[in-house]
Amino acid sequence: MSIHLLGLPTDINSSFLRGPAKAPRLIREALFSDRGNQASELGLELGHDIDLVDDGDLVLAETPADFELISSRVSAIAANGGIPICLGGDHAVTFPIIRGLATHHGPITILHFDAHPDLYDDFEGNPLSHASPFARIMEGGLATRLVQIGIRTLNQHCRAQAARFGVEIIEMRDFAVDKVPVFTTPFYVSLDLDALDPSQMPGVSHPEPGGLFVRDILKVLDRQTAPMIGADIVEFNPNEAQGPLSAVTAAKFVKELAALATRTQGNGAA
């Protein structure tokens, strides 16, 4: 079983600032930098216990055809027994990623970390906006369960959408690690880095104070025992970063998600 690192350098569906398309290269540089080493907190190491294959960046034209390219590549990875960890790019890419995984796994359980629910039916005239991927996923029947963590911008429209789709939301004001479900079926992790408090992750387009800390997310992940079948790390905007911290933080999550995927395989994956 291999973990496939796949860059998705696109931010055409960003609603406010461009920049996340630049992120995959910088995340890789931080991941493989001599600043740190390849050991995860689970004790598994990239290149030793963790079979990490860097597939590079998918060549995208920032047109609607990109979504089919993303879905096809992710589907191929899953069909060959691989686990994709996708580097955005903006959060719009989660829709085609899940669509690609669903062709192999069927409807998926999703654990979603974010400041925003990304459930807009149509944001500013763009139904494929980075503010809308989970509306597209849920209306398409691509997920059986969506659990959102860290939300702190829940407006009336998104509350209605959450009720419509049966989304389970643990708002940031109510967050505690033990409130997050421990899944019993294979699951996918979507990590929007603005889930983190800006003090932890300054390099995002939509910073929202009062967020999660890195340790909060790692504790939630560490409790999971069902197979992790894929993940994305999105919305790092290098244009807004203040030094190397944001890229290093994103790379930390690549390493820990790869370790979690490796640890949980064999626990009932489809």
> What is the average pLDDT score of the chain?
96
* All residues at 6 or more sequence positions from 168 whose CB lies less than 8 Å from its CB, including other chains: 145, 146, 147, 148, 181
102 within 8 A of 142, measured Cβ to Cβ: yes
In terms of Cβ atoms closer than 10 Å to its own Cβ (0-12, 13-18, 19+), residue 242 is exposed
How much is the pLDDT for 266? 67
How much is the pLDDT for 223? 98
How much is the pLDDT for 268? 56
Other C-beta atoms within 10 Å of 191: how many?
28
pLDDT above 60 (res 96)? yes
How much is the pLDDT for 49? 94
How much is the pLDDT for 269? 45
- pLDDT 10s digits, 15-39: 999 999 999 999 999 999 999 999 9
- pLDDT 10s digits, 135-193: 999 999 999 999 999 999 999 999 999 999 999 999 999 999 999 999 999 999 999 99
The span from the CA of 99 to the CA of 8, in Å, is 15
How much is the pLDDT for 148? 98
**Mean per-residue pLDDT, 257-264:** 97
**Mean per-residue pLDDT, 33-60:** 95
pLDDT above 80 (res 13)? yes
Residue ranges of domains in the chain: 3-106+182-264
How much is the pLDDT for 91? 97
The span from the CA of 26 to the CA of 37, in Å, is 16
- pLDDT 10s digits, 200-256: 999 999 999 999 999 999 999 999 999 999 999 999 999 999 899 999 999 999 999
How much is the pLDDT for 270? 43
How much is the pLDDT for 194? 98
Pick the CATH number of 3-106+182-264 from 3.40.50.300, 3.30.360.10, 3.30.70.100, 3.40.800.10: 3.40.800.10
DSSP H helices, 61-131, are 65-79, 94-105
**pLDDT band of 85, cuts 50, 70, 90:** very high
